[in-house]
Structure 1
Amino acid sequence: MTMWKITSGRGSRLTKEFVENNVVAVGLDDETDFTSVTSREEMRALVAQRVPSLTEKQVIVAGSQWWRFLNELQIGDEVLVYEPDTRNYHFGEISGPARFELGLIPELPVVRSVSWRTEVPRDALETTTKNSLGAVLTLFKVPADAEMDVKRVVTGEKGSLQADDTGDLDAEADLDPFSDIEGLALERVKDRINALSWDDMQELVAALLRALGYRTSISAAGPDRGKDIIASRDGFGFERPRIVVEVKHRRGQMGSQEIRSFLGGRHADDRGLYVSTGGFTKDAHYEAERASTVTHLMSLDELAKALIEQYDQLDEDGRRLLPLTKIYWPA
C-alpha cells in the first residue's frame, strides 16, 4: 500500500469538490480524455500537444504524473488532499480505476473514486512533514517519514520519526522552483500566524485594520460581549459605520450559533467582522448572509492574504508579530 499526495488544482482550490464527489482528479484541460493512453511516451506527446507552453522537462514530469495516476495508483492506496480553508488534509483510500467523467470536476475530467476516511490537521504534523507535503508536484508518493507522521496523527499514536526516504520529491528538480511559490509562501505565512497566541492574534487583526486606515480599540481580557476590537475612522466609534470584530483563534469551525451570538446586540449601522482561524461551517456562512447587520466571515486563508496584500502599510506592531521578507523574480 502506497500513500500519495494529490493537489486539487492551483492553490488547492477544488478540494471541496473532490471531497463532495468522493474522487481525486487530474486533467490537461476540461475536455481531454487520456484514459486510453498506452505508454509514458504517448502520454508525454499528448501533454506536449495540449500544453505547448511547457518546457521539455515539464512535459516529461507532467506526462509521468498523469501516467502514474492512471497506472500506478492502486485500489487500496491511501491519498491526501489539502484544504487551505480548514488547514486539514483529507485522508482517504482509492476505491476505483481511472475514468473520464466530463463536468464532474471543473477542468479535471479524469477521476478516480475515493473513500474519504478522516481529516488530518496540518498543525498536528511535524515541520518536515509540512514541507514535504507542500511540494509543487501535482501527484507524488509521500516520503516514508511523512507517511509515518500522517499515520501517527490518524491513529493518535506518539513517537519520533525514523525513516528518511525522500519519495518522489527529487523529481522537483525538473520543475520550475517558482511555479507555485506564492501558494507555498502563503501556507508558510499561515503557519506563522497560526502559531501566535490569542492575544497576539487579536493584535495582528487590529494591525491589519489600522493598515486599512482605521483606528482601533482592543477590548481588555475578560467578557467582551461579543467584541474583541472596535475599528472606526475617528478611533472612538462615533463616526459610522464602525466595525465590530470578534477573533476566534482555535481549531474547529465556527457554526451558526456563534455567529448569532456575535450579531446579538449589534447596532443597525454597525459592520461585523468575525475572524476564525478554524474556519466556518456552511450554516455559519448562511447565518452571516441573512443577517441584517453586514457581516464578513474571515478565515485564516483570507487573513493571511489580506496581511500579505497590506504588508507595506502595516505598522511596527504588525510587522513584529508577522515578520516577512519580500522577494522578486521574473514574471
Structure 2
Amino acid sequence: MSVRPINRTFSIAPMLDWTDRHYRYFARLMSSQTLLYTEMVTTGAILHGRGDYLAYNQEEHPLALQLGGSNPVDLAACAKLAAERGYDEINLNVGCPSDRVQNGRFGACLMAEPELVAECVTAMKQVVDIPVTVKTRIGIDEQDSYEFLTQFIDTVKAAGCEEFIIHARKAWLQGLSPKENREIPPLDYERVYQLKRDYPELNISINGGVKTLEECQTHLQHLDGVMVGREAYQNPYILAEVDQKLCGIDAPVMSRDAVLEKLLPYIEKHLQQGGRLNHISRHIIGLFQGEVGSRVWRRYISENAHKQGAGIEVITQARAEMDSVVSL
C-alpha cells in the first residue's frame, strides 16, 4: 500500500470525547489539507475492547491514530492493525497528564523513560511503513530543563522518530487536573523554536494556546507545523481558511451555510443507521460563533437535539431561528 504524503502545516489535536469520527468528518468539509487526529485510543481498548475502535470515514484522510500505551509488543500490534485499516500516521501519546493515564504507565509520565519510548517507536516502525510520530511536552514536574527535553528527543530520534509535536507547556503529574495542566504551567514557545534550531533535520510542530490563523503564521516562521486544539473545536469555522492562508491553496472559502449544507446528508445517513442527532450536532454548536444569532443557534440545538427521535429538522429550525433574530 502506497504511503500518502502528509502536509503537517496545520493539524487538529487529539482530544478525548471531542475529536471523534463525526467531528473529523465535519472538520474535513472545511479543510482538505488539515491533518486530523483521532482521540487517544489505548492499546487495551483496541486489542481487548468490545467494538471497533479504529472505525473512521474514508473522507477523513489524511488521518492519524493516536495511541496510548507503553508496551512495545501491544503498540506494534495496534500500529499494524491501524496501517492495515489505512491510517496515514501512528502517533504515540507522551503528553497526557491524567491520573488514569499515569496508572496505565503512558502519557506524559513516559517523558521520564525515554529509552522505553524509543523501544515503543522501534517496535512500531518495524511493522508499518507509515510515519510513527510522538506528541510530548517540554518537561514534567521538576524535570523541565532544556537538557532534559533534548535528552528525550535525542533518545527517541535515535529510534527513527523524525516528527515530534511539542505541547509548549510542561506537565505537572501531581496536584493538577488535566484541565489545569492545559492552563496553569506557562507556555514557552521559544523553547520549541530553539528545539527546531538545534534539530533542523526533524519535523517539529507546536501545540498549546494557539487561537488564530495569524498566530499560526507566526509560529510557522520558526517551525514546520502548528497543532490547534480547543479553538478548532469551539470555533470550528477557523478551519475554513486554513487551506488558503496556511497551505497556499487557491480555492474559495466556503460559507458557514455551505458547510452545513454539505453536512446534512451525513447526518441523515447517521440517523438512518440508528444513530442519534446529538452524536453529531454537539460538534457543530460553535459553527456560527461570533455571528449575529449564534446564541439562539446554540441554545436551540442544545435544548432539542438530544430528544428521542430528533431529526434533521432540529438543525434547519435552529438556522431559521437565527435568521429570525437577524431580521428583527
Shorter-chain TM-score bucket reads: under 0.3
Q: Normalising to structure 1: TM-score of the pair?
A: 0.27
Which structure has the larger Rg over C-alpha atoms? 1
TM-score normalised by length of structure 2: 0.27
